[in-house]
């Protein structure tokens, strides 16, 4: 449970991640609260995406525990792990859509595989997800190569929402988007979080996104989470990287934009 009494959807304790002799995380702790958007930031090589991959089962921890929805994910049996995985969705960088499938087919893939739905029901569910992320209905017939970068991100998000998850993981969702497209995507995430009651774990380096969308921010440095809290709380942390990141020209510009 969180200090305020809210439920922790994710609890990471004592995480150690390494590749050979290279240690990425050491004794890392992090809680993610139900119903929040948490932004995970840090310098290059601090393991932001590795942390996300560890939580979703793509990188087995070398030490420590990861609980999702109260279950120790890596100690759960296969049936329990599949049950947990059905409760989350993932948007990888670039959307990670299957290039040989249309947008609708991409979204229907997990619906067919996990739920066993076929035919018109699967098509209707895919059409609903396409609408939810702000794409035109006609986009469902397009292949990923026929979409703009922003549209591919939305299509990837639609697939992440295919199974009506409670928890969504976003890896650099606004990377490569122009400022207008990035701002619209931020608004979409906030709207979906509020209307669907989502919990969102977001890896990002986008200062505007932190201001516009995130309830809390977790900062990775020195192989662990060195600060976590609201943006104002984290910004006041006396750590060189945090001060350089948030008090630099881009940080000041993002703060001024929010205040305007």
Mean pLDDT of 216-228: 97
Q: Which residues, 6+ apart, have CB-to-CB distance to 54 below 8 Å?
A: 12, 15, 17, 25, 60, 61, 66
Instruction: Give the closest residue to 254 by CA, choosing from 227, 235, 229.
Output: 235
Mean pLDDT of 225-250: 89
- Helices 249-259 and 240-247 cross at an angle (nearest 10°) of 50
Instruction: Check: CB of residue 246 under 8 Å from CB of residue 235.
Output: yes
Share of residues in the chain with pLDDT > 90 (%): 85
Q: What is the pLDDT of residues 95-133, one digit of tens each?
A: 788 999 999 999 999 998 888 888 899 999 999 999 999
Domain boundaries, the chain: 94-164
Q: What is the pLDDT of residues 175-209, one digit of tens each?
A: 999 999 999 999 999 999 999 999 999 999 999 99
What is the three-class DSSP state of 30? strand
């Amino acid at each position: 449970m969180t200090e305020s009494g809210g439920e922790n959807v994710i609890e990471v304790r004592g995480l150690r991640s390494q590749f050979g002799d290279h240690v990425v995380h050491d004794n890392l702790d992090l809680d993610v609260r139900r119903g929040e958007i948490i932004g995970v930031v840090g310098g290059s090589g601090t393991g932001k995406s590795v942390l996300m991959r560890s939580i979703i089962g793509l990188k087995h921890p070398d030490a420590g525990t990861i609980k999702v929805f109260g279950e120790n994910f890596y100690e759960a049996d296969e049936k329990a792990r599949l049950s947990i995985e059905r409760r989350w969705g993932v948007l990888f960088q670039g959307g990670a859509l299957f290039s040989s499938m249309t947008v609708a087919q991409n979204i229907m893939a997990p619906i067919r595989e996990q739920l066993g739905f076929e035919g018109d029901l699967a098509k209707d569910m895919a059409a609903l997800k396409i609408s939810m992320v702000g794409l035109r209905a006609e986009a469902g017939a397009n292949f990923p190569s026929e979409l703009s970068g922003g549209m591919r991100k939305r299509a990837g998000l639609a697939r992440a929402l295919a199974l009506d998850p409670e928890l969504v993981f976003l890896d650099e969702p606004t990377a490569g988007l122009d400022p207008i497209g990035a701002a619209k995507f931020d608004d979409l995430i906030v709207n979906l979080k509020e209307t669907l009651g989502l919990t969102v774990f977001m890896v990002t380096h986008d200062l505007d996104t932190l201001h516009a969308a995130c309830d809390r921010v977790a900062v990775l440095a020195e192989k662990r989470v060195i600060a976590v809290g609201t943006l104002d709380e984290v910004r006041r942390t006396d750590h060189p990287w945090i001060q350089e990141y948030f008090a630099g020209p881009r940080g000041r510009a993002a703060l001024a934009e929010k205040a305007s």
